[in-house]
Chain A
Amino acid sequence: MNTKEPYIIISNMSYRYSDAKHYALEELNFTIDKGEFVVILGEHLAGKSTFCQILNGVIPNFKGGEMKGSVIVGGLNTQEVSVAEMAQKVGMVLQDPAVQLFTTKVINEVAFGPENLCLNVDEILERVRWALQVVGLAGFEERSPTSLSGGQQQRLVIAAALAMWPEVLVLDEPTSQLDPIGTIEIFSLVQELNKKYNMTIVIATHASEEAAQFADRILILHQHRLIAQGAPQEIYQNTKLLEQVNIPSPQVSRLATYLEERSLRFPEFPITIEQARKGIEQLVRRSENCGLQPSKRRA
């Protein structure tokens, strides 16, 4: 559903926290299209969180510091408009759901944003109903956020961001405190938002397997700079680079690299289990055609 229309334009952007000697991000130059699903990978302290907060104007409007260049999101320069105004363009989800939930009922939590926007009550309730429906928490309105599971809490945080009707959803390591089931819940939900509503998604994460599965494009931040970007296939094939920046590839990609080193080349370099399965089937078929019979299984 990528309509190839740049929605986020970052030009010559560098940022330094106040009192910091070095830049947290240096010389960033790229665009993100409307409806694109972008994953940002990088080591701890590479600048991922800083980048996320730059997209909705929390940096520099709230945190201060020195910013060069410009960040334009949906036609608005983040340095010129308030965070509250940007909040209607960019929804933000942080790592720890607990710090993002500060009311006593699910319904109040989701309504918090639209209430700040001074909408009328009927519209707020309609947005809340829609957002809870989308994240699969309809019927939880009167529950206390603290009574929900980790995955449910993070989905609630996403609902709270969705109620602002943003065009972009930025998620800063949203699954780092979740179990595998919670992680899949969040990625599946985000993928649905991307496909069904053409929402632009930017996720900073360590979850390589999920990045491979869902991303349109992967950006790699290393030592505060953007050092590589491209389709997951392209990025994960570059094993040298990934090793250099300490980013693990998906397990099937590592398997493919291992086999390639032993002269067994996949027809297409796999990054998901599904691709690897297809590749192995083709390899087996090819070897059968060459007259090699797979050994018979024991009964």
Chain B
Amino acid sequence: MSALIECYPGQSLFHRLDPRAKIVFLLLFTTVIFIIQHIYLVVAVLLIVIALWGIARLPLRSLGGYFKMLSGILVFLFVVQATLYPGKVILIGPIIPSSVPLIGGKGNITEEGILFGFFITARLLTMILILPLVSMTTPIDRLTLGLVRLGLPYQLAYITTTALNQVAVLKAEAGVIMDAQRLRAFSTFEKGNPVAKMKAYPLLVTPLVIGAMHRAQLVAIAMESRGFGAKGERVYIEDIAMKPSDWVFIALSVLCCLAVLLANFLS
């Protein structure tokens, strides 16, 4: 998961954009994906986002592990929607025979259900793919500066980006804990069945959370010791400036979102 918020240095158009332009893009597209109600529009936005991944030249392999983790949820969502969505056009008859008491005759796989399953899955996928376009192309310092320049109080901006940064740290710590468990012949996370894995999670999560809390306190002490939270308006040695290309990008994002919304409300 760390790969999705880790910054990949590059020289693509997306890397060179002002962080503010990218944050505006992120907010616009995430809002739109929640509003639109038609599958073809969701697929259109998904295609735009995938095209942007190409423009940003981000390594698609970084998604591998993420999809492995998410595929279960996506398949589950799709199956639940396909079988339980109340549709009229029945493609496959009830999964549960009518002879079964109480729930007999339920579980019709309908055309609407399948479409809705696709819709939900595509929407989730799009949401997942939008954030890395920003986080993977913007160093954390510039992202913080972008949030500050957009008007977010410095402390809040720092908390946001530090939290983002800590995901990578947590992932690394989880790896260390699991390695330590493996060294003591604990193999439930690789070989165990889902129930055993669920039962084993406290063994991983407890040290992870305790470690994270301890670490957070040390980070806070280190920051306080360097004057974090001092009175006055904080100064930045690096500054960011909006270029014409940033304004063009924002304009295109707005136009694109307006077009999608218009299509959504007209159809």
Closest to B162 in A: A102
Closest to B144 in A: A103
Q: Verify A160–B224 contact, CB threshold 8 A.
A: no
A108 to B232 Cα, complex, angstroms: 19
Chain A residue contacts of B229, Cβ below 8 A: 82-84, 116
Give residues of chain B (205-232) contacting chain A, Cβ–Cβ below 8 Å: 215, 218-232
Q: Verify B237–A84 contact, CB threshold 8 A.
A: no
A91 to B224 Cα, complex, angstroms: 11
Q: Verify B221–A117 contact, CB threshold 8 A.
A: no
Chain B residue contacts of A104, Cβ below 8 A: 7, 139-141
- The residue that B227 contacts in the complex, of A53, A94, A96, A164, with Cβ under 8 A, is A164
Q: Verify A94–B234 contact, CB threshold 8 A.
A: no
A107 to B139 Cα, complex, angstroms: 14
A289 to B8 Cα, complex, angstroms: 73
Q: Verify A111–B237 contact, CB threshold 8 A.
A: yes
Q: Are A103 and B221 CB-contacts (below 8 A) given A84-B228, A164-B227? A: no
Q: Are A62 and B221 CB-contacts (below 8 A) given A88-B227, A103-B141, A104-B140? A: yes
Chain B residue contacts of A113, Cβ below 8 A: 226-227
- Name the segment of A118-126, A219-227, A230-238, A241-249 touching the other chain: A118-126
**A185 on the B face (CB < 8 A):** no
A17 to B162 Cα, complex, angstroms: 27
**B233 on the A face (CB < 8 A):** yes
Chain B residue contacts of A160, Cβ below 8 A: 226
Q: Are A94 and B230 CB-contacts (below 8 A) given A108-B237, A121-B237? A: no
Q: Are A121 and B235 CB-contacts (below 8 A) given A82-B230, A102-B162, A105-B141? A: yes
Chain B 157-189 against A: per-residue CB contact (8 Å), 1 yes, 0 no?
000001001000000000000000000000000
Closest CB-CB distance, B147 to chain A, in whole Å? 15
Q: Verify B235–A124 contact, CB threshold 8 A.
A: yes
Interface SS of chain A: helix
Chain B 235-246 against A: per-residue CB contact (8 Å), 1 yes, 0 no?
111100000000
Chain A residue contacts of B222, Cβ below 8 A: 92, 94, 99-100, 102
Chain B residue contacts of A84, Cβ below 8 A: 224, 227-231
Q: Verify B230–A117 contact, CB threshold 8 A.
A: yes
- The residue that B219 contacts in the complex, of A58, A99, A107, with Cβ under 8 A, is A99
Closest to A163 in B: B226
Chain B residue contacts of A88, Cβ below 8 A: 227
Interface range, B side: 20 to 34
Q: Are A87 and B234 CB-contacts (below 8 A) given A103-B141, A104-B140, A104-B141? A: no
**A56 on the B face (CB < 8 A):** yes
- The residue that B225 contacts in the complex, of A58, A103, A120, A121, with Cβ under 8 A, is A58
Q: Verify B228–A116 contact, CB threshold 8 A.
A: yes
A105 to B144 Cα, complex, angstroms: 14
Q: Verify A116–B227 contact, CB threshold 8 A.
A: yes
- The residue that B221 contacts in the complex, of A58, A85, A119, A124, with Cβ under 8 A, is A58
Q: Are A103 and B140 CB-contacts (below 8 A) given A58-B225, A108-B238? A: yes
Closest to A83 in B: B224
A164 to B228 Cα, complex, angstroms: 12
Chain A residue contacts of B218, Cβ below 8 A: 94, 96, 99-100
Chain B residue contacts of A111, Cβ below 8 A: 237
A-B pairs with lowest CB-CB distance, top 9:
A84-B230, A116-B227, A113-B226, A92-B225, A118-B232, A100-B222, A99-B218, A87-B227, A84-B227
Given contacts A115-B234, A161-B226, 13 further A-B contacts (CB under 8 A): A56-B225, A82-B229, A99-B215, A100-B219, A108-B238, A116-B227, A116-B228, A116-B229, A117-B230, A117-B232, A118-B235, A119-B235, A124-B235
* Chain A residues within 8 Å of B, Cβ to Cβ: 53, 56, 58, 62, 82-85, 87-88, 90-92, 94, 96, 99-100, 102-105, 107-108, 111-121, 124-125, 128, 160-161, 164
10 A-B pairs with CB atoms under 8 Å apart are: A58-B221, A84-B229, A94-B222, A100-B218, A102-B165, A104-B141, A107-B237, A112-B226, A117-B232, A124-B235
